[in-house]
Chain A
């Protein structure tokens, strides 16, 4: 066959963390190629390197037989590689035609003006050729999400692309629209255009793709023809890892029900969520990114308002309208997005730690002394072995793992007895990871109820006493740690 793109030995390091290590990807002309792996496996990073959004730290890229090194996505586009991102990147107020040719109006120039009719005709021809039923002069904001996605596809095609990368192209489409997308992709393949599908849906891969490349933890696992592998084999390749011995072995001691959630609903986000977690228990929330896990937790913690549902804490019904109410009821939350909702970068390590509990050390005049604050701080900072050069150091100077420990320390100091942890070890080195695991085990042992959202299967299986799976905003599966295995959880998360 005719190889069009060859990426070999690609390496990428982010701030000391290896994101890609010796990864290969080979694409043939006119094939539909699936790129698959868990969250954080390195799929996006690899594609961003190909497009020139990131610069690689090692390896080579050969495109149409020539070594290339794109500096920006614009350069990649010009050479014939385009990407359709998961988020719609069209300008809502502009028409379909304007969007497709945005930045390339020169070709329609007539004097100083743009020949709108010529552009209209060319757009019509393009859309017609792709069998996309959208009018060129409609503002994009009037289109459905699926139509927008098809317009993006048309735009990608309009660059005379040799390779089109699609990041979860079917996530917003109905079955009928997915069929249309398949048809368009197959037609393109016949004309020699190569498509790359980044997807979580395994069925989709078997439906349409010729070959599949699996990445895991930044490593290249395998490229093979889809017809040569079974569903189970593919799942094994995706999951693959051995459970490492970084998870503390503790016999759980359960107390009474600390938190009970009944029929929590938020239209279009999650639906009829009911679960309970006991003191001393670690409850794992599995699922794919965007399944609604974070939104459920944000609603329980008062960062968002659910439409309906009830929350009971130690058997007592509570009304949580804002995080303050949650905190007053003994709930703490370590958020997923440390940058936006965790660390406060203008405050010191000590300031970040004591922020939630300054009220505990103020006197009758609402004053506190720095000495008292330091005493409170040392109470918890020692327990967590946070590494810093001075308590007054800004938190931004610490590593991700240490920042995370500071945020956990914040809730320890507040004496919460229910702790929600959303991706507690994301972007954290293995050393800090195991320290955080040990800490979680200790806290549970002391009677804290912990809810852990995680996208890392080993972590879920290693830490949780019980695991629930969320898919499409619904709780679809629940099992104990003993019953759980990676294949079952993945299968429920992916819906296979």
Chain B
């Protein structure tokens, strides 16, 4: 009896582990497939290239995981990214020290997030509409402040954040890894992270636990704003300029990656490592298509197919998982 129970626990452990990290399995399959299809894929240069390309999306998506976890959405991140970039570029042009500009960039990002949270909380508006409106406002400000022209002439020190290398590793990769680690700890080891997941699962019940859900919401939007600011630093430095259209559709890429990674759009769970895997899958597939000289427009189609595949896989495996749990419960009671 005891032994049987131990076995059951183990089995339960393995299946739920697979459930949580199945996206890594998918990533592994794709990587192996690409290795077989093209010799160019598995080279350190190409792999770092992929990492470098996914940094901006990953930093945004890491924060976005929390937004989806509380069951909200933020459509303004792309525009925030562009706007913060332009503001930073102006500051740099005016001779403000690089260190100050970087801190200001992140703080501006956090500020936009807090403003979103304020509008949602104070006027009881849906985040969808608030962030849609804010998105338009920031993008418009990008156009107005620049006269539709990109801002160039950024100092060398600043460009390091997007183009620099430490050894063979591109510097932005460190920023990305640090963001993922911090976000993982926030979700899995802090009271705030648990509150985020609880709030996404059942806001009324979470409030009834004596948790200030409004403050949690401010926190989440602050985090995604900060992530957008950080991503803006990388992107602006990498392109050595602040483009007026920078970050366009970034929110969609982030949502795609988070959902592929296994976080539910309905809220109530947050899989940060899954988000990283989701970003890598999109990056790897795009890279593979590039290497095989497929027209780049097909990458857009591929991304759509990936999202569909991911959510179908999620839905089907959840049903299978549930069935197996019911079966186990039935066995247990016998």
Binding site for B on A (CB under 8 A): 301, 303, 322-324, 326-328, 333, 335, 340-347, 351, 354-356, 358-359, 362, 366-370, 389-390, 392, 397, 410, 414
Contacts and interface: CB of A to CB of B under 8 A. Distances in A.
A173 to B, nearest CB: 32
Nearest to B192: A366
A355 B211 contact: yes
Given A342-B205, A344-B201, A368-B189, 18 more contacts: A323-B210, A323-B211, A326-B210, A340-B202, A340-B204, A346-B268, A346-B269, A351-B197, A354-B194, A355-B195, A366-B190, A367-B189, A368-B191, A369-B189, A389-B8, A392-B16, A397-B325, A414-B210
B207 A366 contact: no
Nearest to A326: B210
Interface in B178-204: 185, 189-192, 194-195, 197-198, 200-202, 204
A370 B200 CA distance: 21
Given A355-B194, A389-B332, A343 B211 contact: no
A410 B205 CA distance: 12
Interface of B: 5, 8-9, 12, 16, 185, 189-192, 194-195, 197-198, 200-202, 204-212, 267-269, 325, 329, 332
A327 B190 contact: no
Contacts of B9: 389-390
A345 B269 CA distance: 10
Contacts of A335: 205, 208
A347 B197 contact: yes
B197 A346 contact: yes
B160 to A, nearest CB: 29
A333 B208 contact: yes
List 4 A-B pairs, minimum CB-CB distance, nearest first. Answer: A327-B210, A346-B268, A346-B201, A358-B191
Given A323-B209, A356-B211, A367-B190, A351 B198 contact: yes
Contacts of B194: 347, 351, 354-355, 358
Contact residues of B: prevailing secondary structure: helix
Nearest to A332: B210
Nearest to A335: B208
Given A340-B205, A368-B191, A346 B200 contact: yes
A203 B250 CA distance: 67
Contacts of A362: 190-191
B164 to A, nearest CB: 30
Given A333-B208, A362-B191, A367-B190, A343 B12 contact: no
B12 A341 contact: no
Contacts of A342: 205, 208
B205 A356 contact: no
Given A346-B269, A351-B194, A366-B192, A328 B201 contact: no
Given A324-B210, A342-B205, A355 B329 contact: no
B55 to A, nearest CB: 26
Contacts of A368: 189-191
A356 B201 contact: no
A319 to B, nearest CB: 15
11 contacts: A303-B208, A342-B205, A343-B205, A346-B269, A358-B191, A358-B194, A367-B185, A367-B190, A370-B189, A389-B9, A392-B16
Given A303-B207, A326-B210, A397-B325, A347 B198 contact: yes
A346 B325 CA distance: 16
B220 to A, nearest CB: 15
Given A322-B212, A327-B210, A341 B204 contact: yes
A367 B191 CA distance: 7
Contacts of A324: 210-212
Contacts of B212: 322, 324
Nearest to B200: A346
Contacts of B192: 366
A362 B191 CA distance: 7
Contacts of A354: 194
Contacts of A369: 189
Given A368-B191, A389-B9, A397-B325, A355 B206 contact: yes
A344 B202 contact: yes
Contact of B210 (A328, A346, A367): A328
A483 to B, nearest CB: 34
Nearest to B326: A397
B210 A390 contact: no
B142 to A, nearest CB: 36
A410 B198 CA distance: 14
Contacts of B329: 389, 397
A341 B208 contact: yes
A355 to B, nearest CB: 5
A335 B206 CA distance: 12
A344 B201 CA distance: 6
Contacts of B202: 340-341, 343-346
Contacts of B200: 346
A41 B329 CA distance: 31
B210 A344 contact: no
Contacts of B269: 346
For A342, A346, A356, A359, the residue with the greatest tally of chain B CB atoms inside 10 Å of its CB is: A346
A347 B191 contact: no
B334 to A, nearest CB: 14
Contacts of B268: 344-346
A252 B206 CA distance: 33
Contacts of B185: 367
A438 to B, nearest CB: 24
A358 B191 CA distance: 6
A363 B194 CA distance: 15
Contacts of B211: 323-324, 355-356
Contact of B191 (A333, A359, A389): A359
Contacts of B205: 335, 340-344
Contact of A323 (B8, B190, B207, B325): B207
A489 to B, nearest CB: 29
A262 B26 CA distance: 62
Contacts of A414: 210
A346 B211 CA distance: 17
A327 B212 CA distance: 11
A355 B198 contact: yes
A359 B8 CA distance: 33
Contacts of A367: 185, 189-190
A367 B184 CA distance: 12
A344 B332 contact: no
Given A366-B190, A367-B189, A369-B189, A347 B201 contact: yes
